[in-house]
Structure 1
Amino acid sequence: MLQIAVIGAGPAGYYTAEALAKTLGEVKVDIIDRLPTPFGLIRAGVAPDHQSIKAVTKRYEATAASEGVGFIGNLQIGTDVSIDELRGLYDAVVLATGAPHDRPLGIPGEDLPGVLGSGSFVGWYNGHPDFADLDVKLAHCGVAVIGNGNVAIDVARIIAKTPEELGSSDIVAHASAELLNSAVCDIHIIGRRGPHQASFTPKEMGELGQLERAQPFVAPADLPPEAEDAELEPGLRKTVSHLRAFAAKPNEGKPVAIHFDFFYRPVAIEGDGKVERLIVERTKLDGGRAVGTGDMRTIDCGLVVSCIGYQTPSIPGVPHDDNAGRFASDNGRIAPGLYAVGWAQHGPTGTIGTNRPDAFAIAEMIAADSGGQGSERAGRAGLDALIAERNIHVTSFEDWRAIDNAEMARARAGAPREKFVRRHEMLSVTKP
C-alpha cells in the first residue's frame, strides 16, 4: 500500500490524512511536525478565548486514532531529516506546513524593539515555544495594530479584555501576568482602506461591543452612505452594521478605547531605541486602491503589532516562490511524489474549514499520479532507523496525550489547561 508522509500536524495535515484514507482506502500516513505537539494553528494560532473553535481537534483526534495514521513530533524536516531522505523513504510527501512566518511591513523603523508580527504576538500569548521568551511590554498607553482582518481584532480584543474575561481561556501564564499589569488605554486598528473593504467577520466584530472595560470607536465620516451597504455580501453587511452601531454609540467612559482608524497606511515607526510612535498617512480610494494623500498623522504607542499576512518558510531542496511567500507548485504538485496543500500551496487565505476541500484535491492528485499503488520504499521503518541513528527524541500521539493530560492537570481554576511553553517541559512528561 502507499506510504505517505505529511509534513505539518495542523488542520491541513490532518484533513490530508483523512482525505487520503477516504480516497485511497488502505494507506499508511505519517504526520510529522517540528513541535512535540500536534494541531498547529488550532493550538497556537486560534485566540485563547475562542475555545469552541478549538473543539475541531476532536475530529483530528479521530483521524489520529484511525488505522494506518501515525504522528511523529519534534522532528524538523530540512534539519533533522532532509527532504530528499524523506522522499526516498515514502511514495509521496505532502507539505502542509502552513504559513507561520510574518510578512514584513517594509517601512523604516520596523526593526525597533516593540514592533512585532501577529504570528509572534499571537504565539506569545498562546504559548508557542518559539515565542515563550518574547519581550512584550504593555507599559505604554498606546498600541497600534496594523491590519483590517480577524487577526487584528483578536489581538485588540485579547489586549483589551480583563483578567476575569480571560479566566476561561487557555491564555498562558506569562501573557496573563503582563496583561494584568497593562497600562494600555488606546488601541488603534489601522487599515489603509475603508469599512466596505475590511475582512472582519460579524462574530469577531460583535464581540468588541461586549467588552467590560473597552469601547470601540468609529469616525462617522469614515463610513460610506448607508444605502451602499445593500451591495455588500451578507456577512460584510452585518460587519458594517456593527461598525455603524459603534459610530453612533455615545462615549461610555470605559478605561480602554479601541479606535478603528480607516483610510490610514503606516509609513514609518519612530523612537529612541524602542517604539514611541507610528507615522501614518491618510489615504483615499482610487479605483478600489488606497493611495496616499500626503496628510500625515502621529500615533503615540509603545507597541506595534503587524497583522498584514503570513508566508511559508522555505525548506532546503524544495522550490519556493519568495514573492508569493509559498512553495512553488502547479496546483499543489511540486515535483513527482512531492506536493503542497493548504496555505503552503496557495498562501494564507480562507478559514480552517477551507483546508478540507484542498486536502481532497491533493489526495485525488496523489491517487492519479500513483495509480493507487505503493512501492517497496522503507516508509516509517526507514524513518525510525534514521531517528534512532541520529538520537532524536521524537514524540508519538500517545506522548501528546501525556502532555495534554499534564497541561489539564496544572490548569488554573476555570481554565481548560495551562500549556507548557518550552520543549523540554513537554518532553519531560513523555517517554524517552
Structure 2
Amino acid sequence: MNAPVRVAVVGAGPAGIYASDLLIKSGLEVSIDLYERMPAPFGLIRYGVAPDHPRIKGIIASLHAVLDKPEIRLLGNIDIGNDVTVDELRQFYDAIIFSTGATGDRNLNIPGAELKGSYGAGEFVGFYDGNPDFERTWDLSAKQVAVVGVGNVGLDVARILAKTGDELHVTEIPDNVYETLKTNQAEEIHVFGRRGPAQAKFTPMELKELDHSPTIEVVVNPEDIDYDEASIQARRDSKSQDLVCQTLEGYAIREPKGAPHKLFIHLFESPVEILGEDGKVVGLRTERTELTGDGNVRGTGKYTDWPVQAVYRAVGYRSEPVNEVPFDEKKHVIRNDGGHVVDVDGEIVPGLYATGWIKRGPVGLIGNTKSDAKETTGMLVEDWNAGRLTPAPQRDPQQVLDFLHGRNIAVTTWDGWYQLDAAEKALGQAEGRERKKIVEWDEMVSHAAPEYHI
C-alpha cells in the first residue's frame, strides 16, 4: 500500500508529541492525527509545571516545532473513550498510540487523609496552573503547611506556597489565581521525606533555585544530613544526586538570611497520621527513621507532632483508564509489554500501543519520555513492516473529520492554537507580562475552534 500509514496519537503532551515526531523520522510515510481532550495542546508542560519555571516552559518551543510539521494534525477538545469510542476510532486508523499521561493524585494511606485541609498536590497544581478541570479558588488560610514528598512536584507546591502573589504576578497566572495567592497566610512550609539526602528526588537546579526568592529562607536541620554505604555509593554513581546532597548540606550549615517565609526540608521523617479536630487538619505526626545500610530506612519509634493546618501529599500522580482499553488498576497504567497494549492474559491487542506515564507510571523526566516513545514507535514500525497491522477501512483523512462534524464536536486545531496563543499573549502584554493564561474551557474553545466545525 502506497498511502501513508494512518496513526492516531491520543494525548498531546510531551509523550504524544515525541511519539509523533519519531514516527515522522522513522522512514515510514505517516499521516498522524494527534488527539487531545483539552482545548489546548502540551499537556503537563502547560498544566503541570509551576508558572515560575520559564526554563522548563521553554520546552514548549521544541514541541511547537514538531506540531508545525505537515504530517501532524491536532484535533483537540475530544475525549477519546467518551466523545468517540476506541472502536470507532479504529475505523480510521491503522494504529493508535495512547499517551494520556497522569493527572490524578496517588493516595497517602495514613489515618486522617480525608480531613478538610488534606489535599493532593496535583489538585493545587491544577488550580495555580489554570487547568479548567480544577478549582478556581483555594483556601490559603493555613499559617503552617506540610508537604509530604521530596520530589519536584512537592518542591513546586512548597515554593508557590512560600512566595507572594506579587512575586508570581509576572508569570502567566490568570487573575483568579493571582487574587487567591494574594490571600495566602502561610509563614512556615514544612516538606517531609522519609529517607535521607541521597534518596531525595529533587533535581539539583530546582533545589538550588528554591532559595533565590527574597521572601523564602530554606532551612535544613544538620542532623538530617546522614549517609550509609548505599547512600555514599548513590552519590558516586550520580552527579545529579551528589549535587542535591551538596545543596542540602549547604542549607544545613549556613547562617539565617532573615527572609519572612521559612521553608523547612525535614528528612528521615515518615508521616504516620494527619491529626484533626472538628474534621479539620491541625497537625501531622511523623516517625523518625534511620538508615539501614542499604539506602532504606526503618522506624525508630520516636514520634513528633507538627502543628500544621494543611497537608499536601506529593507522593506521585495516578493515571486514569481509557474506556475499552485494558487497564491495570493496581499499577494505574494501561496494560502493556513495553509498547503494545496487552489484555489481562498478556496477549497483544493488535494496533493499540502506549507510551509515557500511562505506559510506565509517573516517573522520570522529559528525557525518559523521549526514550520511552522510541521504544513504542519502534514496535509500531516493526509491526507495520511485518504486515501485522490491519489497514483501517476508512483511510481518507477527511472521513474522520466528517465523522467528528457529525458528532457536533467543537474540534480545536493547530491553527486554532495560534489564535488562542495570540489571545493569551495580548492579555498578558496589556499588563506588561508575556502571557496571561485563559482558564475557562468555553473561552479557550471560542478562540481555538471559533467556527465550531471543521
Is the TM value for this pair above 0.5? yes
For residues 60 and 253 of structure 1, do their structure 2 counterparts lie closer, same or farther at Cα, with a shift above 3 Å needed? closer
For residues 125 and 261 of structure 1, do their structure 2 counterparts lie closer, same or farther at Cα, with a shift above 3 Å needed? same
Q: 1:171, CA displacement in angstroms?
A: 2.4
CA distance in 2, matches of 1:128, 1:317: 26
Partner of 2:367: 353
Q: 1:119, CA displacement in angstroms?
A: 1.5
Q: Report the residue type matching 1:53 in the other structure.
A: I
Partner of 1:111: 114
Please tell me whether the aligned partners of residues 5 and 90 of structure 1 are also in contact (alpha carbons under 8 angstroms).
Answer: yes
CA distance in 2, matches of 1:24, 1:260: 49
Secondary structure in structure 1 of the residue aligned to 2:190: strand
Of 25, 29, 34 in structure 1, the residue corresponding to residue 32 of structure 2 is 29
CA distance in 2, matches of 1:289, 1:322: 27
Cα shift readout 1:20-42 (whole Å, capped 9, x = no counterpart):
11104421100001100000011
Partner of 2:146: 144
What is the TM-score with the length of structure 1 in the denominator? Answer: 0.95
Please tell me whether the aligned partners of residues 103 and 310 of structure 1 are also in contact (alpha carbons under 8 angstroms).
Answer: yes
Please tell me whether the aligned partners of residues 118 and 305 of structure 1 are also in contact (alpha carbons under 8 angstroms).
Answer: yes
Cα shift readout 1:289-316 (whole Å, capped 9, x = no counterpart):
3332232222222221111111211112
Q: 1:225, CA displacement in angstroms?
A: 6.1
Of 305, 310, 315 in structure 2, the residue corresponding to residue 303 of structure 1 is 310
Partner of 1:90: 93
Highest relative contact order (Cα 8 Å, sep 6+), 1 or 2?
Answer: 1
For residues 92 and 225 of structure 1, do their structure 2 counterparts lie closer, same or farther at Cα, with a shift above 3 Å needed? closer
CA distance in 1, matches of 2:19, 2:211: 38
CA distance in 2, matches of 1:139, 1:2: 55
Cα shift readout 1:9-29 (whole Å, capped 9, x = no counterpart):
000111111001110442110
CA distance in 2, matches of 1:386, 1:226: 61
Partner of 2:288: 282
Describe how 1:11-410 pairs up with structure 2 within 5 A: 11-133=14-136, 135-224=137-226, 228=232, 231=236, 233-271=238-276, 272-286=278-292, 287-334=294-341, 335-371=349-385, 375-379=391-395, 380-410=397-427
Count of paired positions: 431
Q: Report the residue type matching 1:392 in the other structure.
A: I
What's the Cα RMSD here?
A: 2.0
CA distance in 1, matches of 2:27, 2:99: 19
For residues 158 and 187 of structure 1, do their structure 2 counterparts lie closer, same or farther at Cα, with a shift above 3 Å needed? same
Q: Report the residue type matching 1:166 in the other structure.
A: L
Secondary structure in structure 1 of the residue aligned to 2:379: helix
Q: Report the residue type matching 2:306 in the other structure.
A: I
Farther off after superposition, 1-10 or 292-301: 292-301
CA distance in 2, matches of 1:339, 1:95: 6
Secondary structure in structure 2 of the residue aligned to 1:378: coil
Q: 1:76, CA displacement in angstroms?
A: 0.4
Q: Report the residue type matching 2:44 in the other structure.
A: L
For residues 146 and 416 of structure 1, do their structure 2 counterparts lie closer, same or farther at Cα, with a shift above 3 Å needed? same
Q: Report the residue type matching 1:348 in the other structure.
A: P
Q: 1:148, CA displacement in angstroms?
A: 0.8
Cα shift readout 1:335-355 (whole Å, capped 9, x = no counterpart):
210000011111111112322
Please tell me whether the aligned partners of residues 48 and 170 of structure 1 are also in contact (alpha carbons under 8 angstroms).
Answer: yes
CA distance in 1, matches of 2:417, 2:432: 22
> In the alignment, is residue 424 of structure 1 matched against residue 442 of structure 2?
yes
Farther off after superposition, 387-396 or 218-227: 218-227
Secondary structure in structure 2 of the residue aligned to 1:416: coil
Q: 1:198, CA displacement in angstroms?
A: 0.6
Q: Report the residue type matching 2:404 in the other structure.
A: I
Please tell me whether the aligned partners of residues 287 and 303 of structure 2 are also in contact (alpha carbons under 8 angstroms).
Answer: yes
Identity fraction in percent = 39
Runs (5+) with no aligned partner, structure 2 = 342-348
Secondary structure in structure 2 of the residue aligned to 1:337: strand
CA distance in 1, matches of 2:115, 2:174: 25
Farther off after superposition, 260-269 or 407-416: 407-416
Runs (5+) with no aligned partner, structure 1 = none
Q: 1:376, CA displacement in angstroms?
A: 4.8
Q: Report the residue type matching 1:422 in the other structure.
A: E
Q: 1:164, CA displacement in angstroms?
A: 4.2
Q: 1:166, CA displacement in angstroms?
A: 2.1
CA distance in 2, matches of 1:377, 1:356: 31
